[in-house]
Amino acid sequence: QVQLVESGGGLVQPGGSLRLSCAASGFTLGYYTIIWFRQAPGKEREGVACISNSRGSTDYADSVKGRFTISRDNAKNTVYLQMNRLKPEDTAVYYCTMTLWSSSGATGTHWGQGTQVTVSS
């Protein structure tokens, strides 16, 4: 089974930075996409950043573009989310997901347990 373990969350003041990590295991060498989601109280779950293993292409939500950077270390099976210039509205539980793909389309998505990010002065 695929296992995803997030780490790096915590309390930070506005304007500060955090780096989240997502360590993945239990998957074969197929095509996959890693997507970071976040969930804040009273708000819908929001996709914030994604990266593919085939070419390393990235995409970001407009709300975080220019402040967040997603990257990967293939040798360590780890994806990172560097979060800079954090704002109070970034406060949420952040989840790492892995979507597996076949030639016919997506075959399933796995979720980590989440890590809390709180931005407050």
**85: its two tokens:** 């210039």
Quick: pLDDT tens for 54-109. Answer: 777 999 999 999 999 999 998 899 999 999 999 999 999 999 999 998 888 888 99
**Does residue 120 surpass a pLDDT of 90?**
yes
**Does residue 11 surpass a pLDDT of 80?**
yes
Using DSSP's 3-state secondary structure scheme, residue 76 falls into: helix
Task: Please give the C-alpha separations between residue 114 and each of 37, 71, 94, in angstroms, as whole numbers.
Answer: 9, 18, 5
The whole-angstrom separation of Cα 57 and Cα 10 is 28
Query: How far does Cα 56 stand from its chain's mean position?
Result: 14
Which DSSP state fits 112? -
